[in-house]
């Protein structure tokens, strides 16, 4: 009887998804749907927060006041994205503190890209152009995700990411049109970030264990490979427009498919980075752990204030 009930509930749930009706926090949902969303959304939140680190490192070294103000605003936006996403994850019953502890213990994943260092000012342009560009390609599809709070958070996030992508491209355009040394800096940044940006979309579809179910539940609308191809098709002409060369000898427009062909991705490198062995994994998690320790007095003071106010009200 109970098995029958759960089969019926699952069928009704899938019918809703098929009819494009959003799933809201108090609606019935299969445990596996809830778990998948908590996994993806918390990883996404962690990515936004860890993603602040490579860029924040350059705020004090921005070459002028305008660049500094823009970078500061961008990094603050990423913090805001992390907060929306942690809140959206809480609507599924996840405990925020436990989620963050998983990041700090090294248990939780976050995007592979943020384990690469930003070694020159041009890397700040490459991060905006390529990393935010790849993030938008993925997140525009997530605006149509079946889970309401995630889909709605994505709408605002995408608007801000568009500004980030443009500021990165504008920064690299300026360098590419500058002195030969500046152009070289821009080219080197593209060389460093191109392949890691392509890896952001995750493993190839036939190696992606979560994709089939996530597509059925309309959490994902486009596959990892489709999004990656769309990103390449959109980005290569942008590189050409500013006179930079994409570091792939096999990159070629294919008239028959209407897409660019490209070289195979180095998945060994990807799995090494995801497994904790990238150039900056340890540094990134240590920085977040330290930030939590340093903020302890603020949390304690806020709690003491809240308790005092509550006891005054009840007196």
Q: Which of 187, 224, 229, 235 binds ligand FAQ (CB under 6 A)?
A: 224
In whole angstroms, give the CA distance from residue 199 to residue 111: 9
Pick the closest to residue 85 from 164, 18, 137, 158 (CA basis). 158
User: Residue holding tokens 């996530």?
Assistant: 214
What minimum distance in Å lies between the beta carbon of 289 and ligand FAQ?
Answer: 19
112 binds ligand FAQ, rule: CB under 6 A: yes
Tokens representing 158 are 């995408």
- Within 10 Å of residue 215's Cβ, how many Cβ atoms? 15
Q: How many CA atoms lie within 13 A of 206 on its CB side?
A: 0
Q: How far is the CB of 7 from ligand FAQ (least distance, A)?
A: 25
Q: How far is the CB of 116 from ligand FAQ (least distance, A)?
A: 11
Quote the strand ranges of the chain, DSSP E. Answer: 252-254, 259-261
Q: Are 43 and 108 in contact (CB under 8 A)?
A: yes
d(CA 141, CA 82): 18
Taking contact as CB under 6 A, which single stretch among the options 4-12, 45-53, 97-105, 277-285 is the one that binds ligand FAQ?
45-53
Q: Are 119 and 196 in contact (CB under 8 A)?
A: no
Binding range to ligand FAQ, per CB under 6 A, among 36-44, 169-177, 237-245, 297-305: 36-44
Q: How far is the CB of 111 from ligand FAQ (least distance, A)?
A: 4
Which of these segments, 10-18, 27-35, 131-139, 295-303, binds ligand FAQ (CB under 6 A)? Answer: 131-139
Residue sitting closest to ligand FAQ (CB):
51
Q: Interface with ligand FAQ includes 160 (CB under 6 A)?
A: no
- How far apart CA 175 and CA 180 sit, in angstroms, is 9
**51 binds ligand FAQ, rule: CB under 6 A:** yes
- Which are the contacts of 77, defined by CB distance < 8 A and separation ≥ 6? 160, 163, 164
Count the residues of the shown chain that bind ligand FAQ, applying the rule CB under 6 A. Answer: 28
- Write down the least CB distance from residue 301 to ligand FAQ, Å: 29
| Minimum separation from the CB atom of position 261 to ligand FAQ (A) | 22
Which residues of this protein are in contact with ligand FAQ, per CB under 6 A? 39-40, 43-44, 47-48, 51, 78, 109, 111-112, 127, 131-132, 135, 138, 199-203, 208-211, 214, 224, 274
């Amino acid at each position: 009887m109970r098995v029958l009930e759960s089969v019926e509930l699952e069928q009704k749930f899938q019918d809703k998804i098929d009819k494009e009706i959003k799933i809201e926090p108090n609606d019935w949902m299969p445990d596996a749907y809830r778990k998948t969303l908590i996994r993806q959304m918390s990883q996404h939140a962690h990515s936004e927060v860890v993603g602040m680190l490579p860029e924040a490192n350059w705020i004090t070294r921005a070459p002028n006041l305008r660049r500094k103000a823009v970078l500061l605003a961008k990094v603050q936006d990423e913090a805001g994205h992390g907060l929306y996403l942690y809140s959206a994850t809480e609507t599924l019953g996840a405990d925020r503190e436990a989620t963050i502890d998983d990041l700090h213990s090294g248990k939780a994943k976050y995007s592979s890209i943020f384990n690469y260092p930003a070694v020159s000012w041009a890397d700040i342009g490459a991060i905006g152009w390529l990393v935010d560009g790849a993030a938008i390609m993925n997140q525009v599809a997530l605006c149509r995700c079946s889970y309401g709070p995630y889909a709605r958070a994505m709408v605002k996030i995408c608007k801000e990411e568009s500004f980030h992508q443009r500021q990165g491209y504008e920064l690299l355009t300026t360098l590419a049109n500058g002195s030969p040394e500046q152009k070289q800096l821009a080219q080197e940044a593209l060389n460093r970030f191109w392949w890691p940006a392509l890896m952001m979309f995750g493993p190839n579809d036939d190696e992606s264990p979560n994709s089939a179910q996530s597509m059925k539940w309309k959490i994902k609308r486009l596959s990892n490979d489709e999004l990656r191809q769309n990103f390449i098709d959109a980005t290569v002409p942008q590189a050409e427009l500013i006179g930079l060369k994409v570091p792939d000898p096999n990159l070629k427009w294919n008239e028959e498919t209407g897409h660019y062909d490209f070289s195979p991705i180095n998945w060994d490198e990807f799995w090494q980075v995801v497994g904790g062995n990238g150039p900056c994994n340890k540094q990134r998690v240590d920085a977040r752990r330290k930030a939590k320790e340093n903020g302890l007095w603020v949390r304690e003071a806020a709690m003491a204030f809240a308790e005092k106010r509550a006891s005054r009200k009840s007196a």
